Homo-oligomer: A and B are copies of this chain.
Amino acid sequence: MTAATVPDELWNSVGSPTRRRLLTVGVEAFAVRGFHGTTTRDIAARAGLSPAALYVHYRTKELLLFDISRIGHTESLVALERAGAGVTDPVERVRTLVAHFAERHARHHALGRVVHYELPALTPEHRAEVVVTRRKIERVFRDTVAAGVAEGVFRVDDVADAGLALLSLSLDICRWWGQGRPRSPRRLADHYANLAVAMLGAAAG
């Protein structure tokens, strides 16, 4: 599982190799049994460390989840912005953003489950910090919808709701991916990109 658990360069900002390994096994453990169902002992064992050695890097399990969540969200925003950089036509931009996000959530569904579904397990302070980045990700989608509406290319009842719908469309893939229904991430991403463009009232194809 390790090879595909997270995007290759996700932990690049983390200097310590041990810490990078802990972040990856943390994703694997939390994705399978949930944050509350995982013990620090489980995580140490998966990483081949003693509980004391784990403690050197993460004094609590919540701090490990916070690092996963913080870095996961930040890198997701960076990758999304990079995918959409220079793509200004609203139709092409929606297609690009949704395809990118859909493919990411198919390929790295375990990471997706942890960062999206374990959010309530963070302390209020840590959650508030992550939510700032979540809102920026939402805004990337919402602003793109708004730009298309302003140009008369898209027609929706409510820009914010349509932005959330774009996000749901690509994000929910991390829930069902791997439960049967085998697919190519790339093909699914292309199909979803077309659905997204049509959803906003733009002419399809």
**Is the beta-carbon distance between A161 and B188 smaller than 8 angstroms?**
yes
The dominant DSSP class at the A interface is helix
Find residues 178-199 in chain A having any chain B CB closer than 8 Å to their own CB.
179-181, 183, 188, 190-192, 194-196, 198-199
**Is the beta-carbon distance between B190 and A164 smaller than 8 angstroms?**
no
Q: Which of B131, B164, B191 contacts A161 (CB 8 A)?
A: B191
Q: Is A8 an interface residue (CB 8 A)?
A: no
Interface residue count on the A side (C-beta < 8 Å)? 47
Docked Cα-Cα span, A158 to B35, in Å, equals 36
Given contacts A161-B191, A169-B168, A204-B201, contact A34 B36 (CB under 8 A): yes
Q: Is A117 an interface residue (CB 8 A)?
A: yes
Docked Cα-Cα span, A161 to B195, in Å, equals 10
Given contacts A168-B172, A191-B162, contact A120 B32 (CB under 8 A): yes
Q: How far does the Cβ of A10 sit from chain B's closest Cβ, in whole Å?
A: 22
Q: Which of B38, B171, B180, B191 contacts A172 (CB 8 A)?
A: B171
